[in-house]
Amino acid sequence: MANIALILAGGSGQRMHQNIPKQFLTINDRPVIVYTMEAFQKHADINAIAVVCISGWEQVLKAYADQFNITKLKHIVTGGENGQASIRNGVFELEKHYAPDDIVLIHDGIRPLVSEELISDCIVTTKKYGSAISSVPCYEPVMRTEDGVKTCDFYPREKLRRSHTPHGFPIGKICAMHRLALERGITNAVSSNTMLFDLGEQVYFSAGSEKNIKLTTVEDIEIFKALLVAKKTEWLK
């Protein structure tokens, strides 16, 4: 059974207010997308990497993979009009090359600090339950508002989880779910797990980490840089 990482790098990153897509921003000595690919490249149980890439950047991605020796990169797929379409493009391409019970781990290209432990637990959970979503407990109170000025309700934090990636599925299952979503007019789901939930499917939790941050704003870049420094000094413990 093969395990394939499907890395999502199809967004333009408008909230970062940079001139190039945030997944291609260079931090220290390498682009963000390279950090992400390296995490899966180094994992012994990942057999291949596929990247859903923003249109026009496919050759740049290929050049970076060659430069940084990402030998597991086997597939580059052009992104779609939104996140759901990009994932659909990716899994439909993988369906052509792999068996239905092979595992795909869908991961945000702008979560470059995904660890070996998170990848491993996502694979194990997917094999056990048929799905997996990396998640962490919610420690902050979550308030609901109608007008953005005052609160009108709150959610018990002990009943909430914050979802990250990777998300794990058998390839046959996630492709079938995407076809069913199209039939039912679901075309702009926030993520794979919300799409499956809308289709009446359960999704099971796998391990998460607060370090597995998503680089959405300039402030996130600063946090990422700090975590990189901390990672380099872990041997000092």
Mean pLDDT for each 10-residue chunk of the chain (237 residues)? Answer: 95 63 92 98 98 95 97 97 95 98 98 97 98 94 89 87 96 97 94 91 95 94 91 56
Q: How many angstroms separate the CA atoms of 182 and 188, rounded?
A: 10
Residue type, 26: T
HSE, side-chain direction, 13 A CA sphere, residue 118: 27
Residue whose C-alpha is closest to residue 72's, from 33, 101, 46, 111? 46
73-78 sheet: strands from edge to edge: 73-78, 48-53, 3-9, 103-108, 161-170, 132-137, 205-206
Task: Say if strands 205-206 and 161-170 run parallel, antiparallel, or are unpaired.
Answer: unpaired
- For residue 172, what pLDDT is reported? 98
The pLDDT of residue 235 is 47
- Across 69-89, b (16+ Cβ under 10 Å) vs e yields ebebbebbbbbbeebbbbbbb
Q: What's residue 154's pLDDT? A: 84
φ, ψ for residue 96, nearest 5 deg: -75, -20
Query: Is residue 41 classed as helix, strand or coil in its secondary structure?
Result: helix
* C-alpha–C-alpha distance, residues 42 and 207, integer Å: 19
